[in-house]
Structure 1
Amino acid sequence: MSRIVDVSCTRVRARLHTPFVTALRRTETVDTVLVRVRDTDGVVGYGEAPQVWQVTGESLASATACVEQMLAPLVVGTDTDDWSATTARLPRAVARNAGAKAAVDVALHDLAARRSGVRLAELLRTTYGDPAAHPPRTVTTDVTLSAGDADALAAAAVARVADGFGTLKLKVGTDAATDVARVRAVREAVGPDPVLRLDANQGWTPEDAVDVVRALEAADLGVELVEQPVPGEDVEGLAWVRARVGLPVMADEALFTAYDLERILRLGAADAINVKLAKTGSLAAAAALLRRAAEHGLGTMVGSMMETHVGLGAAASLVAAVPTSGTNDLDAAWWAAASPYDGGITYDGPVITLPDVPGLGIERLHEDAVA
């Protein structure tokens, strides 16, 4: 019988090839906590907890403290074959701290998949998806255009289309008065074919959101959807906006838990949802949100915070196991100048390839990535 003998944390910093700018922040690095779970046979599973002050409120220090002080004691000494029961105990171990909980949860799933000799997507399919389905090896992602002026956005859009991306996610919400002009500049630069979706990252008031979205509709710029136009806690405001515009509205920062989804459904606040592991706290919870939303006719998408190939590998594996209705938002690790690991997912423009090896396929962390 194999048991968990160690849960450890390492702070990782990966530099980006291009600064990432939203209505909430600007960053040139990915800062995250890599969690390793090791068993008595020396098998290691990986997960990560990204630092996202403006969305989850978690930091490197808080995630590390949560894992080491609250979650590791629940995991160390448990039977590796009982991984499902172990992951079920994590959500109640501590309030909030979804990123830290997701990191340990993913690491336990990764370890279980490695021990079973299957890809993580295959383990997730049999556990949370359709057991009869065969998870694909590839997943398609959009790409984000960082917030900026019209000329910068247009130039970035042309470059990303040249990289092969067919769905562009524009970061708006920094200035409602000029957001329409920025979207128009991108559309004129790339032509009619690329899909344009907008993410305001909570940057508008409900009134500004209605004004901007109506102006976008009048301009007929071919926008697919508008993501989180108002502050996440203002679900009533989100519903107020949705009732007054024609473009589909997606909830992101408004959705962390199953309770949040029921509130969104009850108020008719969104046409679609963006599910992220660092918000839900576990793969099981994320899969449940996707299924519940689909049952009620909402569009579904899996996204991520600014994470490395560990977190993105887990998110892409979830998509492969529990398919979503739209192109997913999994480009975060594409922004890294280089992967901080050997192994794991790879990017070819918008196509993410899952490694054909057990678990996430992560082999080791590069020493120069240790923060």
Structure 2
Amino acid sequence: MRAEWLKYRLSFRFTAITSRERLSYKDTYYIKAWNESCPEVIGIGEAGLFRGLSSDDTPEYENILTDICKGINRYANNTESLSEYPSIRFGIESAIRDLMNGGNRCLFPSEWTSGKIPMTINGLIWMGDKATMRSRIDQKLKEGFSCIKVKIGGIDFNQELELLSYIRNQAPDIEIRLDANGAFRAEDALSRLDSLSRFRIHSIEQPIRQGQYDKMSHICSQSPIPIALDEELIGLNDNDSRIKMLETIRPHYIILKPTLTGGFTASDEWIDLAKERGIGWWATSALESNIGLNAIAQWIASHKPEMPQGLGTGQLYDNNIPSPLTLNGEKLWYDPDNNWDMQHIMHL
């Protein structure tokens, strides 16, 4: 087996704002794998390094990626040895699984990849000023979403409360998820959660910065809103550390981002640990292109999810990879009659 990587710059359609940063582009890395005996069949995965967030964000990332591709035969059947490089592990697992299935980007065949059933996703409301966020909310409501996720922590808190009041007035029965990206101070978190709770919030992601286990545990035990953890999972690459976090904090949900949590194998391990402790889960993409988004969606579909998933990021980029992924309102479809256009990658 041989492998190589290619760097690709994704260009946002708009400036994407989180409580941490403003993004106008994102670099990603495609991994191509093939067998020398059949070089025309190529498996492709995406190592979607998330600068400033991935635990394998290092100045040596590209050198590490080069070394791993050179040693692909060592890692093909032992991706656990890549656990300290979660985004690369995700890319390698995806590329190898794609190659083993014929290089047609069908990694986890299911009713979803056959185009028989859709997958329900949440509508993501990016941060912006109040008027911009309200316009985005109106658009999601118009498109018929039954679940929306609002990123908060970027504007005045009272304005965010006004936006949530607006949502409830416009759509009394819609499910509202919030994502604070660690924006609250620990001493203010419970009072803010109390203010938010009157809008019947389904859950809130990462109210305070990760790594504060005792404070997060206290918040989870007292919060009127169920707490979901995502950043808290980053960098926990063995079951002992995962179990310690889950049993100390005891969240209501965990949110899996395979690029950040180490691919399919590690994410499946997280699911098992969560289920054993009565903790719910769902999964989301992490600003990958359609290559990574497709892999994550297919993996999720193999679990037959009942909750809306966080897979609406495929429309973020001007230069995304054309794919069979089709979004119709809150329904994400895989259209097997719509071919991949891989010239962006094959000719790099």
TM-score clears 0.5? yes
Structure 1 residue 317, shift from structure 2 partner: 0.6
SS of residue in 1 equivalent to 2:89: helix
8 Å contact kept, 1:150–1:181: no
Query: 1: distance between equivalents of 2:306 and 2:164?
Result: 26
8 Å contact kept, 1:301–1:325: no
**Correspondence 1:172-183 to 2 at 5 A:** 172-174=152-154, 177-178=157-158, 180-183=160-163
Question: Structure 1 residue aligned with 2:332, among 341, 348, 352?
Answer: 352
- In the alignment, structure 1 residue 73 sits paired with structure 2 residue 70: yes
Change (3 A) 1:73 1:253: same
Which residue type is aligned with residue 98 of structure 2? D
8 Å contact kept, 1:179–1:212: no
Change (3 A) 1:339 1:137: farther
Query: 2: distance between equivalents of 1:365 and 1:255?
Result: 35
Which residue type is aligned with residue 161 of structure 1? L
Structure 1 residue 19, shift from structure 2 partner: 2.5
Query: 2: distance between equivalents of 1:166 and 1:159?
Result: 13
TM-score, normalising length from structure 2?
0.87
Which residue type is aligned with residue 90 of structure 1? T
Equivalent residue pairs, number: 342
8 Å contact kept, 2:211–2:232: yes
Structure 1 residue 189, shift from structure 2 partner: 6.2
8 Å contact kept, 1:34–1:46: yes
2:45 aligned partner: 47
- In the alignment, structure 1 residue 8 sits paired with structure 2 residue 7: no
SS of residue in 2 equivalent to 1:157: helix
TM-score, normalising length from structure 1?
0.82
Structure 1 residue 301, shift from structure 2 partner: 0.5
Moved more, 346-355 or 271-280: 346-355
8 Å contact kept, 1:145–1:171: yes
1:105 aligned partner: 93
Question: Structure 2 residue aligned with 1:210, among 190, 210, 217?
Answer: 190
Query: 1: distance between equivalents of 2:219 and 2:76?
Result: 38
Change (3 A) 1:184 1:345: closer
Which residue type is aligned with residue 204 of structure 1? F
Query: 1: distance between equivalents of 2:257 and 2:20?
Result: 17
SS of residue in 1 equivalent to 2:342: strand
1:119 aligned partner: 106
Which residue type is aligned with residue 46 of structure 2? E
- In the alignment, structure 1 residue 32 sits paired with structure 2 residue 13: no
Which residue type is aligned with residue 73 of structure 1? K
Query: 2: distance between equivalents of 1:233 and 1:176?
Result: 25
State the superposition RMSD in angstroms. 3.0
8 Å contact kept, 2:228–2:253: yes
2:227 aligned partner: 249
Structure 1 residue 149, shift from structure 2 partner: 3.1
Superposed CA deviations along residues 172-204 of structure 1, whole A, max 9, x for unmatched, are: 123574365244354256321322110011111
Query: 1: distance between equivalents of 2:341 and 2:283?
Result: 25
2:127 aligned partner: 147
Structure 1 residue 215, shift from structure 2 partner: 1.0
8 Å contact kept, 2:8–2:30: yes
Question: Structure 2 residue aligned with 1:23, among 1, 19, 24?
Answer: 19
Superposed CA deviations along residues 84-130 of structure 1, whole A, max 9, x for unmatched, are: xx44423324x622111211111111111226x8932238x9xxxxx
Query: 1: distance between equivalents of 2:43 and 2:195?
Result: 49
Change (3 A) 1:364 1:72: same
Change (3 A) 1:14 1:73: closer
Moved more, 310-319 or 169-178: 169-178
Structure 1 residue 288, shift from structure 2 partner: 2.1
Query: 2: distance between equivalents of 1:238 and 1:136?
Result: 41
Query: 2: distance between equivalents of 1:318 and 1:285?
Result: 12
Change (3 A) 1:182 1:305: farther
Structure 1 residue 49, shift from structure 2 partner: 1.6
1:317 aligned partner: 298
SS of residue in 2 equivalent to 1:19: strand
User: Where in structure 2 are there 5+ consecutive unaligned residues?
Assistant: none
Moved more, 173-182 or 50-59: 173-182
Which residue type is aligned with residue 121 of structure 1? F
Percent identity, aligned pairs only, is: 18
Which residue type is aligned with residue 304 of structure 2? P
Superposed CA deviations along residues 119-144 of structure 1, whole A, max 9, x for unmatched, are: 32238x9xxxxxxxx99653221122
Change (3 A) 1:269 1:356: same
